[in-house]
Amino acid sequence: MEIINHKVSLGNISSESLVGKYGSPLFVYEPEQIISRYQKFKNAIKYPHTQIYYACKANSNISIMKLLKKEGCYIDAVSTGEIYTALKAGFSSFNILYTGDNITDDEMFYCVDKNIRINIGSLSLLERYGNRFRGTDVTVRINPNIGSGHHSHCITGGPESKFGIYIHDIDELKKIASNYRLRIRGIHSHIGSGILDIPLYLEAMGIILDCASQFEEVNFVDIGGGLGVPYHHKEEPIDIEILGENITKKFQNFADKRDEKITLALEPGRFLVAEAGFLLTKVVSIKKTPKYKFLGVDSGFNHLPRPFIYGSYHRILNASRPEAEPEEIVVSGNICESGDIFTQGKEGIETRYIPKAREGDILCICNAGAYGYSMSSNYNNRPRPAEVFAENGKDKLIRKRETFEDLISNQVY
């Protein structure tokens, strides 16, 4: 994103011309940013047997998955629908990890049938898996008794979390594995999403490595994803080189004590795609109440739910007039709920200063590449936006805008 000729441009194309071509609202991604993020991440970790699994729940557009596949990335899937999409994107089943929650028999059979590594996150599931697939290899998700994340809904470690086999239950885990002659080949953990607290991330990694050292047959350790990006100017980006050095050192120490070659896996989602994505939306109404001046736009929490569900901050630019005098406003969506506010904070509605907008101006909502489209819905029976790539002055449609027909296509009437 840059300001060129007094307009916000994405991939060297003005936001206004992208909207002119594809309509509003519109998701725009800069693929170069995704690739450079991936390369930076990969290069920061020097341990030779490292695999990066893209957590495609962040954004499961096939074109984005293909970009990452070309770079040598693997896939972390949390549903069989994500596995299906990854296979469509060309990933081999050996390069997919399935970390579903509450895995059904159908899902187990689907993965085993396709040779997809399955990651089991509860003792009862391990028992069921053992019953069905006695004498096989399996990976287990461990809850290391530590969690972190940008919101309580996104903390996936610690005593309040529903995820993983609790670290205190390792003896029970071993008993079940031995009853069914299961080989524990992988140890996995993911403590939360949107983590900027690196010492805590490394502490959890230490616990997981200690846990892995209790299993002789482990040849795969996945320390999860969850690395955050700065949404607010007050947040600092992670120093990925320093993090990479720390991870490498810690893992190499662990690996040096093992006889077998051991793989280190990480599964970033947001870190790879969040900052490469933007939601463009048109101002269609401006109104004042005794408290606020509202800029009403043609999108809402049906397209980018993060402010609504987490009170998450997203930087908002006036793409049509980025250099105009700022004014204090609230940006409201078009969904029939009063919480449909793009400037929603953790404690309720917040105001922002953005360059004074007129009806018809395009707003650019930043950091919309992760958990935007993938969390979108058809609430209020509104079609989802199109998605495009914009790079070096060229644009490419990667998903069509939905139509009214799409909205009712599965209904039987």
Ligand X SMILES: Cc1ncc(COP(=O)(O)O)c(C=O)c1O
Annotated catalytic residues are 336
**What does the CA dihedral 372, 107, 87, 392 come to, rounded to 10 degrees?**
10
- Provide CB contacts within 8 A for 107, sequence distance 6+: 80, 98, 100
d(CA 359, CA 282): 8
Q: Least CB distance from residue 208 to ligand X, whole Å?
A: 13
Q: Counting contacts by CB under 6 A, is residue 300 touching ligand X?
A: no
The full 3-state SS of 126-172, as one line of letters, equals HHHHHHHCCCCEEEEEEECCCCCCCCHHHECCCCCCCCCEEHHHHHH
Q: Least CB distance from residue 312 to ligand X, whole Å?
A: 12
Quick one: which of 11, 157, 268, 300 contacts ligand X (CB under 6 A)? 268
Q: What are φ and ψ of residue 259, in 5° steps?
A: -80, -40
Helix (H, G, I), strand (E, B) or coil at 318: strand
**Stretch 354-373: interaction string toward ligand X, x if CB under 6 A:** ----------------x---
Q: How many residues bind ligand X (CB under 6 A)?
A: 20
Query: By CB under 6 A, which span of 224-232, 245-253, 289-297, 309-317 interacts with ligand X?
Result: 224-232
Residue whose pair of structure tokens reads 């287990």 in the numeric block: 140
Q: Counting contacts by CB under 6 A, is residue 277 touching ligand X?
A: no
Half-sphere exposure of 152 (CA within 13 A, CB side): 3
Question: Residue 277 forms beta bridges with which residues?
Answer: 29
Quick one: which of 7, 69, 190, 321 contacts ligand X (CB under 6 A)? 190
Burial of 281 (0-12, 13-18, 19+ CB in 10 A): buried
Q: Counting contacts by CB under 6 A, is residue 194 touching ligand X?
A: yes
d(CA 78, CA 88): 16
Q: Least CB distance from residue 223 to ligand X, whole Å?
A: 10
Q: Counting contacts by CB under 6 A, is residue 299 touching ligand X?
A: no
Quick one: which of 25, 186, 225, 277 contacts ligand X (CB under 6 A)? 225
Q: Under rule CB under 6 A, which residues in 77-96 are in contact with ligand X?
A: 78
Closest to 105 in 3D by CA, of 80, 140, 75: 80
Q: Is the Cβ of residue 24 or residue 99 nearer to ligand X in the bound state? A: 99
**Stretch 312-341: interaction string toward ligand X, x if CB under 6 A:** ------------------------------
Structure letter (DSSP) for residue 338: T
Quick one: which of 31, 144, 164, 269 contacts ligand X (CB under 6 A)? 269
Q: Least CB distance from residue 269 to ligand X, whole Å?
A: 3
Q: Is the Cβ of residue 31 or residue 100 nearer to ligand X in the bound state? A: 100
Quick one: which of 10, 13, 58, 142 contacts ligand X (CB under 6 A)? 58
Distances (CA, A) of 301 to 135, 222, 294: 47, 33, 16
Q: Counting contacts by CB under 6 A, is residue 76 touching ligand X?
A: yes
Structure letter (DSSP) for residue 103: -
Q: Counting contacts by CB under 6 A, is residue 271 touching ligand X?
A: yes
d(CA 224, CA 269): 10
Q: Under rule CB under 6 A, which residues in 104-163 are in contact with ligand X?
A: 156
Q: Is the Cβ of residue 269 or residue 372 nearer to ligand X in the bound state? A: 269
Q: Counting contacts by CB under 6 A, is residue 31 touching ligand X?
A: no
Q: Is the Cβ of residue 103 or residue 370 nearer to ligand X in the bound state? A: 370
Binding-site ranges for ligand X (CB under 6 A):
55, 57-58, 76, 78, 99, 156, 190, 193-194, 224-227, 267-271, 370
